[in-house]
Structure 1
Amino acid sequence: MSRIYNVAVVGGGIGRSHIVEGYVTNPDRYKVLVICDLNPERMNALADEFGVERRTTSYDDVLAMSDVDIVDICTPPMVHYPQVMAGLRAGKHVVCEKPLVGSLSQVDEVIAEEKTSKGTLMPIFQYRYGNGIEQAKAIIDAGLAGKPYVGTVETLWRRGPDYYAVPWRGKWATELGGVLMTHAIHPHDLFTYLLGPVKSLFGRVTTRVNAIEVEDCISASVEMANGALASFTA
């Protein structure tokens, strides 16, 4: 019989989808033990919906719970870095929504922290694990797909004013980026997951759709390490 991991879901907004799609569907592997949210009304509504008795508005309280194995961070991007680092230092396994952090230097710090932690970090790149992607990955890795020549990723997904009405969205300090970090990040990740690392890139970003700080349109020309050429548009 496999072990059942106790999970604390931190952030009751998108955290609900993690419960519905990840934990409720795998009761032999996971139990949602704690709901943590700064908004007591949302926290209690979510906990009531899924029958979770333990509730707190304090992330520090979650980390102090010895029976919590996994912290699932579903909070706004600007607090991901300190929460990930604190979770790893507490010896927890950490799942974190995208974008993981806001800079390459912070990525390096997270990697270093994970190496000394009892826990493991899992950034949210769930599309890698779909059946179609896993099959494509196996075919490519086996050498059956042949030599890659060119590729393209087009994320033609428009976000309007209603989406950016949430106070932390659309700002560098709180969302950490625009369409690259929050919307196109998944298809771009899939592309490099399948075709390997990027060797060089030239791109342009601009803000044309919404009255926001961050970019909402991008175009990039990419050279892959394997020699293939690609274009990214979002």
Structure 2
Amino acid sequence: MSPSTPPPPPLAGRRIRAAVIGTGAIGRGSHLPALQQLAAEGETEVVAAVDIDAKAVETFCAEGGVPHAYTDLERMLAEQRPDLVTICTPPTLHREQSVAALRAGAWVWCEKPPVPTLADYDAVQAQEGAESGPYSSIVFQHRFGSGTRHVRRLLAEGALGRPLVAHCQTTWYRDTAYYAVPWRGRWRTEGGGPAMGHGIHQMDLLLDLLGPWSEVRAMAGRLVHDVETEDVSTALLRFENGTMATVVNSVLSPDEVSRIRIDCERATVELTHLYGHSNADWRITPAPDATGDEVAAWRDFGPDVPSSHLAQLRELVACMRAGQRPRSSGADGRTSLELITSLYKSAFTDTTVVRGEIGPGDPYYTALHGGAAGWAPAGAATPAEVSA
């Protein structure tokens, strides 16, 4: 928080003042409805929205009942002093906007991909509050909901035995018209290919379920689309607990699916969906020696709470009121970005990359293409130039 900016008033006993940054599809379709639902429950109030397109933000506010429309983020922060800023803009803007909000004393809830590089992520984290916030968290809504909560507990308690083998699959389809949009398929503006922009949700969920990874070996290809980034990647992943996993991210697959499968000693647990899941999308297949009572308990997911922005926002608001760091922030929010960065480094250097090896001085810390020949955009520094 800037020394000249007074702290916002305490959160106890009042609604949390929220502002939406970016009034495109994700802001209109996911963030605003979640905030409005919590407003109906007395938890939040949406006080402002910001967009560089004056007409777009005015329409957003008029249709959504938001009182103040802005085209200048700093002015909005100074005048409205929101407690929470939700960021729904392209990845290249996330660092600057997150830092501005944190300095103004607002908590941040930022869409994925969080930022284009680990260097950007660490710069945002450096602006967080020391003990009770404000904190910056990433929208990883697939972690939230009753299905994920139930399976995470089964795995953590060892009810299914040791996890042994896992598969993580994001195989989607994007045609040439999708990549005709100028900012797509480019490192600087989209942040990466399907590993970064599409598969990040399933990889993050896999990490949330299985814990820390230890090493990755990957390949990436540009098989169809005329883009800077990859359009398909595959990886072999080892976890600290010994689990071995395969990861596939594609935008070349007409039969679209998002899938996670974990084979444990006593059961296989599998999630199959596309853009969101409920209890019915999870399946648990017991080993032959499992008892009926065990299987019944494993399959009892409780009341259905689908994965959603709303489910994550509820938990974030509770953390704000308690002054506690939310999930998918700090080191926890960094883990999927570190895996994706390591996947790219492994693919482009033909080496195994271990967790924790990419830091300041490594070319992949500041650019996901790492300056690799055949992958870096024209004019990008080579790895040798970066490390010199």
Q: Which interval holds the TM-score relative to the shorter structure?
A: over 0.9
TM-score (norm 1): 0.94
The question of 1:207 aligning with 2:218 is answered: no
The range that moved more, 141-150 or 163-172, is 163-172
- Provide, for residues 152-185 of structure 1, a one-character-per-residue CA deviation record: whole Å limited to 9, x for no partner: 0111111222322333221111111111111000
In structure 1, what is the equivalent of residue 182 of structure 2? 167
SS in 1 for 2:102: helix
The question of 1:70 aligning with 2:84 is answered: yes
User: What is the distance in 2 between the residues matched to 1:53 and 1:43?
Assistant: 11
User: What is the distance in 2 between the residues matched to 1:37 and 1:196?
Assistant: 37
8 Å CA contact 1:160, 1:209 repeated in 2 = no
User: What is the distance in 2 between the residues matched to 1:30 and 1:160?
Assistant: 39
The question of 1:86 aligning with 2:104 is answered: no
In structure 2, what is the equivalent of residue 142 of structure 1? 157
The question of 1:43 aligning with 2:57 is answered: yes
Against the structure 1 CA distance between its residues 132 and 215, is the aligned structure 2 distance closer, same or farther, given a 3 Å change threshold? Answer: same
Structure number with larger C-alpha Rg: 2
Against the structure 1 CA distance between its residues 206 and 3, is the aligned structure 2 distance closer, same or farther, given a 3 Å change threshold? Answer: farther
Against the structure 1 CA distance between its residues 143 and 21, is the aligned structure 2 distance closer, same or farther, given a 3 Å change threshold? Answer: farther
Paired letter, 2:75: D
Cα distance, 1:25 vs structure 2: 1.7
TM alignment of 1:1-234, pairs within 5 A: 3-13=14-24, 14-27=26-39, 28-116=42-130, 118-234=133-249
Gaps of 5+ in 1: none
SS in 2 for 1:32: strand
User: What is the distance in 1 between the residues matched to 2:233 and 2:179?
Assistant: 18
Against the structure 1 CA distance between its residues 147 and 162, is the aligned structure 2 distance closer, same or farther, given a 3 Å change threshold? Answer: same
Paired letter, 1:93: W
* Equivalent residues, number: 234
- Provide, for residues 52-102 of structure 1, a one-character-per-residue CA deviation record: whole Å limited to 9, x for no partner: 120000111122135411111111111111111121111110011111112
Paired letter, 1:113: Q
Paired letter, 1:108: D
- Provide, for residues 28-53 of structure 1, a one-character-per-residue CA deviation record: whole Å limited to 9, x for no partner: 22211111111112111211111112
Cα distance, 1:2 vs structure 2: 5.9
8 Å CA contact 1:200, 1:223 repeated in 2 = yes
User: What is the distance in 2 between the residues matched to 1:163 and 1:4?
Assistant: 40
- Provide, for residues 119-158 of structure 1, a one-character-per-residue CA deviation record: whole Å limited to 9, x for no partner: 1111111111121001111121222121011000111111
Paired letter, 1:10: I
8 Å CA contact 2:81, 2:106 repeated in 1 = no
Cα distance, 1:231 vs structure 2: 0.2
In structure 1, what is the equivalent of residue 323 of structure 2? none
